[in-house]
C-alpha cells in the first residue's frame, strides 16, 4: 500500500518534467542561468566553432568534450543548485538553479 501511494504522489511531478535548452555560442552559455525542477532535462547544444564542456566538480556534473555541433543531455537531480563552467575556457560560466519539489494542495 505505501509504495503504491508513493508512486501516485510522484505522477504529477513526472508529468510536469520539462526540457530546457542551453545554447553554447560565442564563448557563452545562453541563458547563463537555467531554472529547472528535479526530473527536468537540460540539453546543452554547442553551436560554437570550438569544443567546450559543462563541468561542475562539486555537483559531479561532467559532459566531457562537446565538439562543435554536438549536444549533451543531463537529467536534473534533486539539488542543490550549482554553478558550472567550461574547463577549457574558465571565463565561460553558467548556473543551474534547481527549485525545490512542489507539494501542491489540490484545489477544491
Q: Which residues contact Cu ion by CB under 5 A? A: 52, 86, 88-89, 92
The nearer residue to Cu ion, 42 or 86, going by C-beta atoms, is: 86
Cell of 58: 562539486
The nearer residue to Cu ion, 18 or 27, going by C-beta atoms, is: 27
Minimum distance of Cu ion from residue 19's CB (angstroms): 23
DSSP-based three-state secondary structure for 100: coil
Minimum distance of Cu ion from residue 20's CB (angstroms): 19
The nearer residue to Cu ion, 36 or 92, going by C-beta atoms, is: 92
Minimum distance of Cu ion from residue 73's CB (angstroms): 18
- In Å, how far are 44, 77, 102, 105 from 99, measured between CA atoms? 19, 11, 8, 17
Mode of pairing for the β-strands spanning 89-98 and 33-36 = parallel
Mode of pairing for the β-strands spanning 61-62 and 55-56 = antiparallel
Amino acid at each position: 500500500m505505501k509504495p503504491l501511494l508513493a508512486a501516485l504522489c510522484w505522477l504529477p511531478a513526472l508529468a510536469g518534467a520539462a526540457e530546457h535548452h542551453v545554447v553554447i555560442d560565442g564563448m557563452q552559455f545562453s541563458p547563463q542561468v537555467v531554472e529547472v525542477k528535479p526530473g527536468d532535462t537540460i540539453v546543452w547544444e554547442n553551436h560554437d566553432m570550438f569544443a567546450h564542456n559543462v563541468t561542475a566538480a562539486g555537483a559531479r556534473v561532467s559532459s566531457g568534450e562537446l565538439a562543435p555541433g554536438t549536444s549533451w543531455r543531463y537529467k536534473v537531480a534533486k539539488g542543490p543548485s550549482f554553478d558550472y563552467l567550461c574547463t577549457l575556457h574558465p571565463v565561460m560560466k553558467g548556473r543551474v538553479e534547481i527549485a525545490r519539489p512542489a507539494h501542491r494542495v489540490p484545489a477544491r
